[in-house]
Amino acid sequence: MVSQIIFVILTIVGVGLFAFNAQKVIRNIKLGKSANRSDKPQERWMVMLKVAFGQTKMAVRPVPFLLHLVVYLGFVIINIEVLEIVIDGIFGTHRVFSGLGGLYNFLIGSFELLAAGVWLACVVFLIRRNVLKLKRFSGVEMKTWPKSDANYILITEILLMSAFLLMNAADAKLQSLGASHYTAAGAFPVSAWLQNLLPNQIDTLIFIERFCWWFHIAGIFAFLNYLPYSKHFHIILAFPNTYFSNLKPKGQFSNMDSVTNEVKAMLDPSFVPADAAPGRFGAKDIQDLSWVNLLNAYTCTECGRCTSVCPANITGKLLSPRKIMMDTRDRMEEVGKNIDKHGAEHQDGKALLDDYITREEIWACTSCNACVEACPVNIDPLSIITELRRYAVMEESVAPASINAMLGNVENNGAPWKYSPSDRFNWSEGN
């Protein structure tokens, strides 16, 4: 009964703490402006099934796709076993689903093969990051915590899978020795190779099995509560993020109601715009972005695919789309902490633009959408860059000289060039 009470307390604390931290994340996302992403539900479900569940955009790079698929399937399927662990922990049973017979043996055997696959994939991922040092895992934004975060998760998954396999190995050996309470059930194609490494004393085997059982379930609860502080929150957020993807053609800018009303009033003097609260043009801080932008920031996996295909970054410019998303998330976290400490009205004198993202970064962007196309979970860094640019141009009238010249030419000549419309076809004379 003591172990059951401890387990129930652990479960309540683990789930409750996760709910508390998740609520803060949701609060931070809601700091953004409203955006309508409830249209075309059938198409949105299909996008989520294809991109989040099917991981179709990962397949562009076959090797990491296969490795990630193993980890993904392992994470989803092996956690079915967590249901049995929870029931056993609460009621003091052991392998409560063993009555399923052959199906149970198939499930446990499948879990072991997947666990071995996850273990191997995580080792390969560690080697790719720390030995081979692939370029897309580096960058000015991938120092200290972001770099360590990935390693912590991979090492944790290796330890959890090791504990799972060692637990099964000890369990299987206890079954063969006829230990009481250890029901003969399950198939152990992987952990069977570990049994010869274990002692034959029943008391020692029970200690190993129980230690690994507790380590496995406690590690899962610890991992769950680590997610809100980690880039690996994409494990959960990838699904809503892909559902709320932008379904419009890539590169199609959103219109601002205030500007649209002005244009309509100029074209039609009888036009009467609907009352609308005055708002800021573009975005200076996270509150000016939409909640979809902020959800994107929390969903970023920091995989670097966006930055690796960015033409500005490739040519040595300061822009890194991954850094744009990470900076947005960091600023959002800072604002959230300020709200917790000082209240919702607190102003810290900082902003996303300039304090986190520089002008050089936003103007280096070519608006090519390569980053949007490359993201495996449909994150859109360009929409954030566009809103920051809008603020700089429309609120501050601050832009590079070439941009100002182009805007002036559009206003005066109806085209980006400095030539009068009447001289536009002079080049054809004499041909």
Q: What is the pLDDT of residues 280-329, one digit of tens each?
A: 889 999 999 999 999 999 999 999 999 999 999 999 999 999 999 999 99
Are residue 93 and residue 222 in the same domain, yes or no? yes
Q: Is residue 40 part of a domain?
A: no
Distance CA 243, CA 202 (A): 51
Average pLDDT over residues 194-204: 91
Of 97-101, 322-326, 355-359, 392-396, the range with the lowest mean pLDDT is 97-101
Are residue 196 and residue 238 in the same domain, yes or no? yes
Are residue 393 and residue 283 in the same domain, yes or no? yes
Phi, psi (degrees; rounded to nearest 5) at 131? -105, -55
CB 164 within 8 A of CB 115: yes
| pLDDT score recorded for residue 335 | 96
Are residue 78 and residue 215 in the same domain, yes or no? yes
Q: What is the percent of the chain where pLDDT is above 90?
A: 61
Q: Is residue 101 part of a domain?
A: yes
| pLDDT score recorded for residue 277 | 62
Are residue 222 and residue 266 in the same domain, yes or no? no
Identify the domain containing residue 227 by its residue range. 2-30+61-243
Domains held by the chain: number? 2
Quote the pTM value. 0.89
Placement of tokens 């009033």 in the chain: 265
Name which residue leads in pLDDT, 178 or 154: 154
Q: Is residue 38 part of a domain?
A: no
Distance CA 362, CA 358 (A): 7
pLDDT for residue 430 is more than 80: no
Distances (CA, A) of 394 to 156, 256, 265, 285, 397: 48, 12, 19, 15, 6
What is the average pLDDT value for the chain, to the nearest integer?
90
Q: Which of 243, 273, 296 lies at the terminal end of a domain, its last residue? A: 243
Are residue 208 and residue 145 in the same domain, yes or no? yes
| pLDDT score recorded for residue 250 | 85
Are residue 206 and residue 262 in the same domain, yes or no? no
Distance CA 72, CA 61 (A): 16
Q: State pLDDT tens for residues 52-92.
A: 999 999 999 999 999 999 998 887 887 778 888 888 888 88
Q: Domain of 370: which CATH number?
A: 1.10.1060
Q: State pLDDT tens for residues 254-292.
A: 887 778 888 888 888 888 877 666 678 899 999 999 999
Distance CA 103, CA 98 (A): 9
Which H, E and C letters describe the chain, residue by residue? CHHHHHHHHHHHHHHHHHHHHHHHHHHHHCCCECCCCCCCHHHHHHHHHHHHHCCHHHHHCHHHHHHHHHHHHHHHHHCHHHHHHHHHHHHCCCCHHHHHCHHHHHHHHHHHHHHHHHHHHHHHHHHHHHCCCCHHHCCCCCCHHHHHHHHHHHHHHHHHHHHHHHHHHHHHHHHHCCCCCCCCCCCCCCHHHHHHHCCCCHHHHHHHHHHHHHHHHHHHHHHHHHHHHCHHHHHHHHHHHHHCCCCCCCCCCCCCHHHHHHHHHHHCCCCCCCCCCCCCCCCCCHHHCEHHHHHHHHHCCCCCHHHHHCHHHHCCCCCCHHHHHHHHHHHHHHHHHHHHHHCCCCCCCCCHHHHCECHHHHHHCCCCCHHHHHCCCCCCHHHHHHHHHHHHHHHCCCCCHHHHHHHHHHHHHCCCCCCCHHHCCHHHCCC
Beta bridge partners of 357: 353
Placement of tokens 């899962």 in the chain: 220
| pLDDT score recorded for residue 387 | 94
| pLDDT score recorded for residue 380 | 96
Q: What is the largest CA-CA distance in the chain?
A: 102
Q: What is the percent of the chain where pLDDT is above 70?
A: 99
Average pLDDT over residues 196-221: 91
Are residue 118 and residue 203 in the same domain, yes or no? yes
Q: Is 164 exposed, middle or buried (0-12, 13-18, 19+ CB in 10 A)?
A: buried
| pLDDT score recorded for residue 302 | 93
| pLDDT score recorded for residue 276 | 62
Are residue 14 and residue 105 in the same domain, yes or no? yes
Report CA torsion sign: 144, 341, 225, 65: negative
Distance CA 125, CA 68 (A): 9
Q: State pLDDT tens for residues 368-396.
A: 999 999 999 999 999 999 999 999 998 99
Q: Is residue 35 part of a domain?
A: no
Q: Which of 211, 243, 275 lies at the terminal end of a domain, its last residue? A: 243
| pLDDT score recorded for residue 267 | 85
